[in-house]
Amino acid sequence: MPVLYFGTEAQRQKYLPKLGTGEIKAAYCLTEPGSGSDSLSARTKATLSEDGTYYLLEGQKMWITNAGFADLFTVFAQVDGNKFTAFLVDATLDNIRLGNEEDKMGIKGSSTRQVFFEGVKVPVENLLGEIGKGHKIAFNVLNIGRYKLGLMVCGGAKRACEMTVKYANERIQFKLPISKFGAIKYKLAEQATRIWVLESMNYRIAGLLNDKIEQCKADGKNDIQAKLIAAEEYAIECSISKVFGSEVLDYVVDECVQVHGGNGFSEEYNAARAYRDARINRIFEGTNEINRLLTFDMLMRRAMSGQIDIMTPAMAVQKDLMSIPDFGGDDDDDILAADKKAIREAKKAILMVAGAAVQKYMQKIEKEQEIIMNLADMLIDVFTAESAILRTDKLIALRGVEACSDYIDMTKIYTSEAMERIQLSGKHAVCAFTEEGDEQRMMLMGIRRYTKYPAYNAVAARRRIAQRLIDANDYAF
């Protein structure tokens, strides 16, 4: 990815064909012992030689995937002490030393080692991008990586769900397959619902990225420029995909182990491996905590720069709070009318809470991480629920309501509970930055008002979803 998006034509011609065929392999060297999430504080340094023909690279990288067999390293280093810059480093160069293979909790099939650069002479033509602009490479590649991770974990979750269903159908207790029991049906249905919502979100982001790429091409950008612009435009959505996807997978593999019972704790079954392998996804490509903070930070930066207007609709929501609630307006012919209305109202809750928090703290809001985490969770719940609604709406238009009953069930299960989570996250945030009194009471009332959802029998819906899985003996959606 770094070569494709930021390399010179000569670098692309040299490396991409062989990387494409697998003749050579690449590794991405960003993390150091003292710089993980704070990647710009890297201490690896690159010093230009007196004759200007090479950079002398010195430093240490860790947690480097593919390190044991990589032919090409993308290495980030400081030029002149403070110019964060990227280099393409051939593994055949002298003075590159590898540490031992890490004994990891999971993903044991992946080579992960430290890489030491002990006076490596890197030709100047292997400078990647511009001096001091390495952050653009690092962050754009991470944006794309986060979206790819959201896709990857969706596939893993489907596989784990399949394992869970098959075992539940095979395991006999009290003379019945355990898939007959309501407590197990809940787990199966919840696995499927979260996976389906994740997949819906991933389709949505793919469409957004694709549309932006085509728009940029129409405006005269080349293919690579268009993709970079799209990745930056939808960086927030890519972070949401990474966070939500990794946590969906964690839920699915955890319940996979639980349904397997004692066998799930045994390495003789694949449930244990799935559980171990899944855990890394909440850490790499930026921890989920960092990505939650980034989601809000990127939104605020765009607001501050005038790219988007948050304060005007936030003020409108505050005025709306003083009005009489409108409980009408639903389309009786639209089976998703209540869900669509719930999303519209939930967005008001986010605007109200975010607007009030920013008004209070201004630039210092970045220090209030707990409030930012609450707001990020509200954003994630709205975006994921809306993605499910949009997908189901399209499927209904194509196939009709009756053929989409399972999708409607999953959408309503998820949206109804998303509203409850949004209300709780909003409540926690408001109580953190307001004192007891009229302002707090008004805001809490507003959150309750904006997160209403009609009474819904989620138990019956989950039983229907679970039965579909049980009958198929597989992930069925």
Tens-digit pLDDT profile for residues 6-25? 999 999 999 999 999 999 99
- pLDDT score, position 312: 79
Q: Is the pLDDT of residue 83 over 70?
A: yes
- pLDDT score, position 327: 46
Q: Is the pLDDT of residue 328 over 60?
A: no
For 409, other C-beta atoms within 10 Å of its C-beta total: 24
**In order of start, what are the domains of the chain with their CATH numbers?**
2-130 (2.40.110.10), 135-290 (1.20.140.10), 306-472 (1.20.140.10)
- pLDDT score, position 322: 66
Q: Name the average pLDDT for the chain.
A: 94
Dump pLDDT digits (tens) for 330-360: 566 899 999 999 999 999 999 999 989 998 9
Q: Which residue type is seen at 340?
A: K
Mean pLDDT of 63-86: 96
Residue 238 Cα distances to 43, 244, 334, angstroms: 28, 10, 31
Residue 153 Cα distances to 143, 156, 190, 202, 239, angstroms: 16, 5, 16, 11, 14
Q: Are 375 and 350 in contact (CB under 8 A)?
A: yes
With bands split at pLDDT 50, 70 and 90, how would you rate the model's confidence at 310?
confident
Catalytic residue check, 366 = no
Element (H, E) at 240: helix 235-260
Q: DSSP H helical segments within 171-307, as ranges? A: 182-218, 223-233, 235-260, 270-278, 288-304
Task: Determine the Cα–Cα distance for residues 169 and 447; give it in Å rounded to an integer.
Answer: 42
Dump pLDDT digits (tens) for 135-188: 999 988 888 999 999 999 999 999 999 999 999 999 999 999 999 999 999 999
Task: Determine the Cα–Cα distance for residues 477 and 108; give it in Å rounded to an integer.
Answer: 30
326 versus 62: the higher-pLDDT residue is: 62
Q: Is the pLDDT of residue 241 over 80?
A: yes
Q: Is the pLDDT of residue 60 over 50?
A: yes
Distance of CA 206 to the CA centre of its chain: 13
Mean pLDDT of 225-249: 96
Q: Is the pLDDT of residue 67 over 70?
A: yes
Residue 117 three-state SS: strand
Q: Are 117 and 64 in contact (CB under 8 A)?
A: no
Backbone φ, ψ for residue 149 (5° rounding): -65, -40
Which parts of 160-259 are beta strand (E)? 172-173, 176-177
The CA-to-CA distance between both ends of the chain, in Å, stands at: 32
Q: Which residue has the tokens 């509200």?
A: 378
> Of 32, 285, 345, 386, which is the active-site residue?
285
- pLDDT score, position 98: 97
Dump pLDDT digits (tens) for 398-448: 999 999 999 999 999 999 999 999 999 999 999 999 999 999 999 999 999
